[in-house]
Amino acid sequence: MRNPIGWAALTAFSLAFFAFIYAPLFVIIGYSFNSNPINMMIWESFTFDWYTGLLGLSDRSTDVSNRAAYVESTDLMLAALRTSLTVAMFTTTISTVIGTATAIALARYRFRGRGFYNGFMMLPMMMPDIVLGIGLLIFFVTIGMNLSILTIIIGHCTFLTSYVFIIVQARMAGLDPALEEASADLGASELTTLRKVLLPQLAPGIIGGALLAFVISMDDLVITYFVSGTGDTTLPVFIFGMIRRGVKPEINAIATLIILASVVIAALGLWLRSRKTD
């Protein structure tokens, strides 16, 4: 039987836990509609200007000089957002392919050094971000490679591949190898077995790993700070640089759009997974 006091304490703890996690997100969403351009923590009135300004549909500045500075700063922010999206898309694609292929290879093939390689794949996840960022910076400088968007993609792939690998590997552990053996016994080639038997079963893990890699790539600051060039600034690095001068209210609008996009992507992944299960 349930203890009323214990059940009430557990409920209160659960509500406090979720409030602690999601309250900052709701604060960001709420203040993204605040019209105060000076102090976003002081509510002035409700407005969509920060969203329309990001789309180039309006301009809150009336002075010509201030308007030029405002537009230039907004354009830099949008350029940083485009860089983040570009890096995240390329990183997600590369990390998903490499991580999935590695998980399949380590699960289905036996070779010397397999255990060492399995542990080596998890090393980037356990390594502190600042150590990995400094190591990548030293590596790029040593080989004479200029810091650019390419170095950001390479840097993200070095640790995001591990995330995809672990998620797909966990999915592989729950699959029955007899299905692949039956496919081979019926005359299917290895490529056909991979495409029609193995990959459909791995689809939830692959989608989950890809979504996780995309979100982490969009959010990464420490490693990107070390391996990015002056002309290729991602949104987290750009926001980090703006904190010293004050946070622009457009950042709340961009953060809200990113939250909305993340919710849509997660909902799409859950919908695809439910269809696959049915």
Instruction: Give the tens place of pLDDT for each residue, 220-237.
Output: 889 999 998 877 888 888
Nearest Cα residue to 266 out of 207, 202, 217, 203: 207
* Residue range of the domain that includes 132: 50-277
DSSP 162-208: HHHHHHHHHHHHTS-HHHHHHHHHTT--HHHHIIIIIHHHHHHHHHH
Expressed in angstroms, the distance from the first to the final Cα of the chain is 35
Q: How far apart are CA 113 and CA 75, in angstroms?
A: 50
In a domain, 203, yes or no: yes
Q: Sign of the C-alpha dihedral, residues 196, 200, 205, 206? A: positive
Q: How far apart are CA 1 and CA 194, in angstroms?
A: 50
Say how many domains are in the chain.
1
Q: How far apart are CA 181 and CA 184, in angstroms?
A: 5
Report the percentage of the chain scoring pLDDT > 70: 86
Model pTM score: 0.77
Q: How far apart are CA 180 and CA 198, in angstroms?
A: 7
In a domain, 9, yes or no: no
In a domain, 27, yes or no: no
Mean confidence (pLDDT) of the chain? 81
Contact partners, residue 202, CB within 8 Å, separation at least 6? 100, 104, 168, 171, 172, 175
pLDDT tens for each residue of 137-176: 999 999 998 988 999 999 999 999 999 999 898 888 877 7
In a domain, 223, yes or no: yes
Q: What is the CATH number of the domain that holds 115?
A: 1.10.3720.10
In a domain, 266, yes or no: yes
Q: How far apart are CA 203 and CA 276, in angstroms?
A: 8
In a domain, 22, yes or no: no
In a domain, 20, yes or no: no
Does residue 157 contact residue 102 with C-beta atoms inside 8 Å?
Answer: no
Decide if pLDDT at 46 tops 90: no
In a domain, 18, yes or no: no
